[in-house]
Chain A
Amino acid sequence: MIKKIVFLTFLCILTYIIIPIPKYRELNHLSIIKNITIECNEKCTITLEEIIPIREENKIHYQCKNYQLKGKSIINAKQELEKKNDKIFFYKDTKYLYTNCSNKKEISKIFHIPKEKIKPIPKEKANCNN
C-alpha cells in the first residue's frame, strides 16, 4: 500500500510540473482582444480593442470596446491598463498588432503574439467590422 501511495504522489507531482494551474477567472472578466495598436512617440500609447459577444434571443451580436492608456514604456502601459480595468486581457486570438515601433521582437514577447501578426499602423485603424 505504501508503494502505491508513493507512486500516486509521484504521479501527482509529475502532473503538477507538466500542467500549470492558471489563476481562476470567470469568463465575464475575460477581455478577448481583437486588435492592438501601439504608438511609440514620446510616450507609449496602447489601444486595445475588445470584442464583446452579446446574446440576444437566438443571435449573438458583437460589440467593440476600446481601452487606451499612456505609459513610459510598453510594459508600463500594459501593466497600468490591466490594473485599471479589473479584467484579464486575452491576447491569444488577437488578429493584428499595429505599431510604429521598431522593436517587434520585444512587443512579440510582451503580448505573446507571433511576429507575423505585427503590422505597421495603417492610415485608418482596424475596427470591429473587419
Chain B
Amino acid sequence: MNIIKKIQKQVYPSKDYIFHEIQIDGNKINFFYNEVLSDSKSINEFILYRLTKLKTKELKSLNNHLPNCNTKVIKEKDILSFLNNGFLILIYDKIYACELRANLDRGINMIQSELALYGPKDSFTETYNTNLGLIRRRIKTSSLKCIDKVIGTYSKTKIGIIYIDGIVKKDLVEHVKEKLNKIKIDGTIDSSYLRFSLEKNFYLFPTIMMSERPDKCCMALLEGKIVILVDTSPYVLILPSFFLDFFHTTDDYYQKASYTSFIRIIRFLAFLISIITPALYLSVTTRHYSLIPLDLLLVLKAGRTFVPFPAYIEALFMILCFEILKESDFRMSSTNGSAISILGGLILGDAAVAAGIVSPIMIIVIAISSIAGLIFPTIEINNALRSYKILLLVLSTFLGIYGVIIGIIFLIFNICTMKTFGYKYLSIDKNEIKDSIIKINTKVKKRNSKLTNNIIRGKYQ
C-alpha cells in the first residue's frame, strides 16, 4: 500500500496513470499503468481476464499465470522507469512488470530522404526495437553486438552502440563508449543531439553520418564502423565517417563500377561547382574582365544593364531567396511544395529579371551552384557547402580571384587537418583506393586497414 501511495504522489497530478485494485478470494492485487504508453486492450484481454479467473492457490505462482513472455520481477526503485516505458506494474507478493506497450510507431515506411534507384526501400522508424530488428535481419550473426545505454536525465532515452565483433577495433568502441558516458543532458529527443555532443563544433563538414537506410548501416558495420541507434529517432549515427563517404551512396554498390565511377566524378565536380561558381563569377565580372572572351563579356554586360545593385548584393540576395524557397519547400507538404517551387522558381525568377532587380546570368549561376549542392544525399554536407559558398563569395568580393584561391586553400587545409574519432578525415586507405572516387571491381575486396585488423572482406570471383 505504501508503494502505491508513493507512486501516486510522484505522478500527481497526471491523469494518464491508471491505478486499479482487484480482489481474488479476499486477496488484494494492485496494478497500475500509463494508459497512453500501455495498450489498454491487451491489459483487459490478457491480464484482467486471466487474473479474475485465478484461484487463491494459483496466486502463489502468479508469475506463471501472467501471459506475456516479457514479465519481470522488479525492485521498488525501478517501478517508475518501467511504468514510463509502457509496462504494467502488478503488486502482489512481489512487484511484477509486464510489457504491454501501446503501438505508438508508424510502422516501417518508405525511405524519404536518401532515395536510391535500386536496393531496399525500407527505412528506420522511431522505435528502437524495430530499428535493431532491421539491422539484425540483414546481419544474422551473434557477432553483431549491441550495447545498451540510457542517456537523458528526464528523457531516459535508450541508446544502442552496434558493431560487429571481430571486425571493429575495440579501441574505437571504448572511445565511443567513453564519449557517450561523458554526455550529461536533460533529454535526447533525436540522434542529432548525440551527434552535436560527439562531433567537434568548429568543423563545418560532418564527421558523423546520419542515415535512415538500414542497408547503408549494415554496409558501414561490415566495413568496421560503429552504428548508434537512438530510441525515438529514425536516423542512426554512423561513425567514424570520412570525407569521401559523403560522396558515396548505396546505389554505388548496386550498379556497375563504370557507371558508379562516372557518377562519383559528377558528384565531385558538383562539389566544386557548388562552392566556387558564385565566387568565381563575381570575381571575374568585377575585377578580372580580361579573363572573359569579348562575346561573353558583352552578354554578361547586357544582362546587368538595368540592375541597380552591386553584383555581390545581387548574389547574396539570390542565395538568400534560394535558401528561403528551399526551407519553405522542406516544411510544406509535397502538394504545397510544388506550388512553392513554381511560384518561387519560375514566376518570381522571371519577374525579378523582367523588373531588372537581378540579372539572368546571376540566376543561372546561383541556381547551378545550389542545385549542384543538392546532389549529395545528406543534408549536413549541403549545409557545409553553403557555408563555404558564402565564405568564398565574401572573399571574392574583397579580394577577387586571390580571395577565391585563399578560400580554397583554407578549405583544403581545413579538410586535411580534420579528424574523426582519431582518424584523419581525408585519409584514403590503400585497400579502399579502388573504391574512392573511381570504383574498380576487384577479385578480393578489402576493408579499411585503419578501421579493422580483419582486412579481407571476401572473394567475389
Interface positions of A (Cβ within 8 A of B): 4, 8, 11-12, 15-16, 19-28, 30, 32, 51, 53-55, 60, 62, 90, 92-93
Q: Which of A21, A23, A93 contacts B294 (CB 8 A)?
A: A93
Give the distance in Å from the alpha carbon of A27 to the alpha carbon of B303 in the complex.
Answer: 10
Q: How far is the CB of B415 from chain A (nearest CB, A)?
A: 13
Q: Which of B286, B399, B413 has the most CB of A within 10 A?
A: B286
19 contacts between A and B (CB under 8 A): A4-B417, A15-B405, A15-B406, A15-B409, A19-B401, A21-B287, A21-B399, A21-B402, A22-B288, A24-B286, A24-B397, A24-B400, A27-B289, A28-B307, A54-B305, A55-B303, A60-B298, A60-B302, A93-B297
Q: How far is the CB of A17 from chain B (nearest CB, A)?
A: 10
Cβ-based interface call for B69 (8 A): no
Given contacts A19-B400, A30-B289, A53-B298, 7 further A-B contacts (CB under 8 A): A4-B413, A19-B402, A20-B402, A21-B287, A27-B300, A27-B311, A28-B307
CB-based closest 10 A-B pairs:
A53-B302, A93-B294, A55-B302, A53-B298, A22-B287, A19-B402, A60-B302, A27-B304, A27-B301, A92-B290
Q: How far is the CB of B202 from chain A (nearest CB, A)?
A: 14
Q: Which of A11, A20, A53 has the most CB of B within 10 A?
A: A53
Cβ-based interface call for B285 (8 A): yes
Q: Are A24 and B287 in contact (CB under 8 A)?
A: yes
Residue of B nearest to A91 (CB): B290
Residue of B nearest to A23 (CB): B287
Task: List which B244-299 residues lie within 8 A (CB) of chain A.
Answer: 285-290, 294, 297-299
Give the distance in Å from the alpha carbon of A93 to the alpha carbon of B399 in the complex.
Answer: 24
Q: Which residues of B contact A26 (CB under 8 A)?
A: 286, 304, 310-311
Q: Are A11 and B300 in contact (CB under 8 A)?
A: no
Q: Which residues of B contact A15 (CB under 8 A)?
A: 402, 405-406, 409
Q: Are B409 and A25 in contact (CB under 8 A)?
A: no
Give the distance in Å from the alpha carbon of A60 to the alpha carbon of B300 in the complex.
Answer: 11
Give the distance in Å from the alpha carbon of A28 to the alpha carbon of B300 in the complex.
Answer: 10
User: Could you count the A-B residue pairs with CB atoms below 8 Å apart for me: how many are there?
Assistant: 73
Q: Which residues of A contact B406 (CB under 8 A)?
A: 12, 15
Q: How far is the CB of B313 from chain A (nearest CB, A)?
A: 10
Give the distance in Å from the alpha carbon of A2 to the alpha carbon of B290 in the complex.
Answer: 38
Q: How far is the CB of A90 from chain B (nearest CB, A)?
A: 6
Give the distance in Å from the alpha carbon of A60 to the alpha carbon of B285 in the complex.
Answer: 18
Residue of B nearest to A8 (CB): B413
Residue of A nearest to B290 (CB): A92
Number of B residues near A (Cβ < 8 Å) is 30
Contact with A along B169-209 (1 / 0, CB 8 A): 00000000000000000000000000000000000000000
Give the distance in Å from the alpha carbon of A21 to the alpha carbon of B287 in the complex.
Answer: 7
Q: Which of A12, A16, A32 contacts B301 (CB 8 A)?
A: A32
Residue of B nearest to A57 (CB): B354
Q: Are A53 and B405 in contact (CB under 8 A)?
A: no
Q: Are B400 and A21 in contact (CB under 8 A)?
A: yes
Give the distance in Å from the alpha carbon of A24 to the alpha carbon of B294 in the complex.
Answer: 19
Q: Are B409 and A53 in contact (CB under 8 A)?
A: no
Give the distance in Å from the alpha carbon of A2 to the alpha carbon of B353 in the complex.
Answer: 49
Q: Which residues of B contact A28 (CB under 8 A)?
A: 301, 304-305, 307
Task: List which B350-408 residues lie within 8 A (CB) of chain A.
Answer: 397, 399-402, 405-406
Given A4-B417, A23-B287, A27-B285: A32 touches B294 (CB 8 Å cut-off)? yes
Q: Are A27 and B286 in contact (CB under 8 A)?
A: yes
Residue of A nearest to B361 (CB): A27
Q: How far is the CB of A4 from chain B (nearest CB, A)?
A: 7
Give the distance in Å from the alpha carbon of A8 to the alpha carbon of B405 in the complex.
Answer: 12
Give the distance in Å from the alpha carbon of A90 to the alpha carbon of B417 in the complex.
Answer: 43
Q: How far is the CB of A93 from chain B (nearest CB, A)?
A: 4
Q: Are B299 and A60 in contact (CB under 8 A)?
A: yes
Q: Are B301 and A30 in contact (CB under 8 A)?
A: yes
Q: Which residues of B contact A54 (CB under 8 A)?
A: 302, 305
Q: Which residues of B contact A24 (CB under 8 A)?
A: 286-287, 397, 400
Q: Are B302 and A32 in contact (CB under 8 A)?
A: no
Contact with A along B400-428 (1 / 0, CB 8 A): 11100110011001000100000000000
Give the distance in Å from the alpha carbon of A43 to the alpha carbon of B79 in the complex.
Answer: 104
Q: Which of A22, A51, A90, A93 contacts B400 (CB 8 A)?
A: A22
Q: How far is the CB of B452 from chain A (nearest CB, A)?
A: 30
Give the distance in Å from the alpha carbon of A61 to the alpha carbon of B285 in the complex.
Answer: 20
Residue of A nearest to B404 (CB): A19
Q: Which residues of A contact B397 (CB under 8 A)?
A: 24
